[in-house]
């Protein structure tokens, strides 16, 4: 009886084991196949994410929207195939149809959204026992690219020529411009030496091929290639001209950027210079309620690195970046019999550029409202306050002071940058210079590139302040003010990489 019972139990064990195998093998197989599918899905999702980003970046390639969309679709598809091999984890095939699986949505103003869907066919290993031979794995991703409005504010001062860097800077700036999307992004060019000029009013046809280009009929790369490097450095005025271009465009939903390049300290300010009572100057403007002194307007300069005033010259260049600089003040013959600048007002005072006896001093505020008497900022002043003198009820920056000449122009640029980042309205004092008086634009980002090989070097702390980097002593965190970046190029061999770094940061933020 016991023998029969053991034989019966052995029969049950065989049956139970068989039943368990029928159940366990599919369960284990399902676990293995699901794990493999999870790995495939994760890899495919990574490829789709990268493809959407690559497509958004490629929207900058092409001179019109159709060409840019084609470039984006091709780049997105290629990125999927590059990052998901067709044989990855037993995959049979991977497909991305550029016509249906890659979408570009332009329905929202100032932004374009690239969508990518990728498909992979993955065979099963164990589930074949249940007649499931393969599974389709899908992954989708979207990236939105904001259009970029950028004004290149570019130093063309004489120090670039003396250091032999002018050509390298031109090529780096051209390469920078070519990274943006013609037809969608807007780009403008402002150049400055002693004078400042809007060489290319901000527009979306900066590479040509569509519409009518601003006069002269040329592209921004062509204009940059024709720059002549000469004269001094009027930084504050150049920053305001760059801001004015963005304010006039008035696209707050886009990414609004000023790229400021220089190789030296600021040396000039646009001011209404007060005439001294004993001056022989004739024809100067009479005092007004807003300017309570007899004056002549012009760009008042310092000798680079010599802390010595000279002027007045023309702050506005009526030609383009390859035309003459440091001309007679815009007040023209109002400067007759003033002995401060050679050949002005029909009188030959050649060699008398440093004559300051005609003036009471330099106003504490330039025509754009920039304070020049001290570093501007709530946290700390970067610059030593300038020395002032009084004349009646008015106070002026003292002339021929060994610190004043250097500090006043730096303070003006510092103040201008902070006002721009704060989105201030353009002041009425700049009427006739800026085109959008009474209007402003918030959330402007300022990036700075500094070339460090000039005979008289730039101020790194000043450029850090202008771009509002964390190292600045007056750093203001977003969203109150936008944080930019400062890149130092020690030599002209490093300047292209510096511009490229800023371009990459701008495009990254735009997505």
Distance CA 456, CA 409 (A): 15
CA dist 289 and 311 (Å) reads: 25
Model pLDDT, residue 30? 59
Q: Give me 181's structure tokens.
A: 């999307």
Give the per-residue pLDDT at 4: 55
Structural domain tally of the chain?
2
The torsion defined by the Cα of 366, 372, 377 and 382, in degrees rounded to 10, comes to 150
Q: Are residues 51 and 135 in the same domain?
A: yes
What pLDDT is attached to residue 344? 44
Report yes or no: 309 and 400 within 8 Å, Cβ to Cβ. Answer: yes
367 located within any domain:
no
* Residue 164 within any structural domain of the chain: yes
74 and 157 in a single domain? The answer is no
Q: Are residues 72 and 175 both part of a single domain?
A: no
Q: For residues 36 and 133, state if they share a domain.
A: yes
- H helix or E strand, kind and range, residue 223: helix 220-225
The domain spanning residue 257 has which CATH number? 3.40.50.410
Q: What is the pLDDT of residue 31?
A: 60
CA distances from 143 to 232, 456, 510 (A): 44, 45, 10
H/E run at residue 13:
helix 2-57
Q: Counting beta carbons within 10 angstroms of the beta carbon of residue 346, is it exposed (0 to 12), middle (13 to 18) or buried (19 or more)? A: exposed
Co-location of 172 and 104 in the same domain: no
Please report whether residue 399 resides in a domain: no
Q: Which domain holds residue 418?
A: 148-266+409-509
Contact at 8 Å (CB) between 192 and 238?
yes
Q: Is residue 162 part of a domain?
A: yes
Measured at the CA of 495, the angle between CA 418 and CA 458, to 5 degrees, comes to 45
- Please report the pLDDT score of residue 210 as a whole number: 47
* Per-residue pLDDT at 430: 94
Same domain membership, residue 200 and residue 75: no
CA pair distance 511, 506, nearest whole angstrom: 9
Q: Under a CB-based contact definition with an 8 Å cutoff, are residues 175 and 499 in contact?
A: yes
Final residue before a domain boundary, out of 146, 161, 190: 146
Query: What is the pTM assigned to this prediction?
Result: 0.79
- 88 and 138 share one domain: yes
Q: What is the mean pLDDT of each successive set of 10 residues along the chain, which is 511 residues long? A: 55 61 59 68 84 81 79 88 73 82 83 86 65 76 86 93 92 94 89 91 81 60 90 93 96 93 91 89 86 90 75 77 68 71 46 75 94 62 74 88 84 93 95 95 96 85 94 89 95 95 84 62
394-397 and 134-146 strand pairing: unpaired
Residues 63, 40, single domain; the answer is: yes
Considering 101, 130, 146, which residue would you say is the last residue of a domain? 146
* Domain identity same for 209 and 219: yes
388 inside domain: no
Assess whether 51 and 94 both reside in one domain: yes
Same domain, residue pair 100 and 160: no
Flag whether 8 is in a domain: yes
Q: Can you tell me the distance from the alpha carbon of 120 to that of 380, in angstroms, rounded to the nearest whole number?
A: 59
Task: Classify residue 284: in a domain, yes or no.
Answer: no
Give the pLDDT confidence score for residue 403 in this predicted structure.
Answer: 80
Q: Of the candidates 127, 146, 165, which is a domain's last residue?
A: 146
Look at residue 58 in the predicted model and tell me its pLDDT: 80
Whose structure tokens read 């012009």?
298
Nearest to 299 by CA among 157, 176, 401: 157
Q: Which pLDDT does position 298 carry in this prediction? A: 87
Question: Do 123 and 228 belong together in one domain?
Answer: no
For residue 446, give the 3-state DSSP assignment.
strand
Residue 338 lies in a domain: no
Distances (CA, A) of 129 to 19, 27, 132, 204: 15, 11, 7, 61
């Amino acid at each position: 009886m016991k023998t029969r019972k053991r034989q019966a139990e052995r029969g049950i064990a065989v049956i139970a084991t068989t039943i368990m195998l029928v159940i366990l093998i599919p369960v284990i197989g399902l676990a293995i196949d699901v794990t493999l599918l999870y790995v495939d899905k994760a890899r495919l999702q990574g490829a789709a994410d990268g493809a959407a980003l690559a497509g958004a970046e490629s929207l900058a390639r092409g001179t019109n929207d159709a060409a840019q969309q084609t470039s984006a679709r091709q780049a997105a598809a290629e990125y999927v195939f590059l990052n998901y091999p067709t044989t990855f984890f037993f995959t049979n095939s991977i497909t991305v149809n550029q016509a249906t699986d890659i979408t570009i949505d332009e329905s929202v103003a100032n932004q374009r959204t690239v969508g990518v869907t990728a498909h992979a066919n993955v065979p099963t290993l164990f589930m074949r026992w249940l007649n499931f031979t393969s599974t389709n794995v899908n992954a989708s991703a979207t990236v939105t690219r904001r259009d970029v409005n950028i004004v290149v504010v570019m130093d063309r001062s004489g120090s670039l020529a003396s250091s032999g860097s002018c050509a390298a800077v031109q090529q780096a700036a051209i390469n920078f411009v070519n990274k943006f999307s013609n037809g969608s992004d807007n780009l403008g060019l402002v150049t400055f030496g002693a004078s400042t000029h809007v060489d290319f009013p901000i527009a979306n046809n900066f590479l040509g091929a569509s519409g009518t280009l601003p006069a002269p009929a040329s592209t921004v790369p062509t204009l940059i290639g024709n720059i002549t490097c000469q004269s001094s450095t009027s930084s504050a005025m150049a920053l305001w001209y760059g801001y004015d271009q963005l304010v006039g465009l008035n696209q707050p939903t886009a990414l609004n950027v000023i790229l400021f390049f220089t190789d030296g300290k600021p040396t000039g300010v646009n001011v209404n210079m007060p005439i001294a009572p004993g001056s022989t100057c004739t024809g100067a403007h009479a005092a007004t309620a807003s300017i309570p002194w007899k004056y002549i307007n012009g760009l008042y300069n310092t000798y680079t690195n010599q802390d010595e005033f000279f002027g007045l010259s023309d702050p506005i260049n009526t030609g383009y970046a390859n035309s003459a600089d440091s001309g007679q003040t815009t007040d023209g013959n109002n400067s007759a019999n003033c002995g401060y600048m050679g050949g002005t007002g029909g009188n030959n005072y050649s060699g008398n550029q440093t004559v300051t006896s005609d003036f009471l001093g330099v106003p504490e505020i330039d025509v754009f409202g920039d304070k020049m008497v001290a570093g501007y900022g709530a946290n700390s002043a970067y610059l030593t306050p300038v020395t002032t003198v009084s004349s009646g009820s008015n106070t002026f920056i003292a002339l021929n002071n060994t610190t004043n000449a250097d500090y006043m122009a730096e303070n003006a640029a510092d103040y201008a940058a902070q006002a721009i980042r704060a989105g201030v309205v353009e002041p009425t004092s700049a009427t006739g210079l800026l085109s959008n008086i009474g209007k402003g634009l918030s959330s402007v980002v300022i990036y700075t590139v500094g070339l460090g090989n000039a005979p008289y070097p730039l101020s790194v702390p000043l450029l850090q302040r202008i771009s509002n980097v964390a190292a600045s002593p007056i750093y203001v965190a977003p969203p109150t003010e936008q944080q930019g970046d400062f890149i130092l190029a020690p030599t002209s061999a490093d300047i292209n990489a510096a511009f490229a770094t800023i371009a990459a940061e701008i495009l990254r933020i735009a997505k």
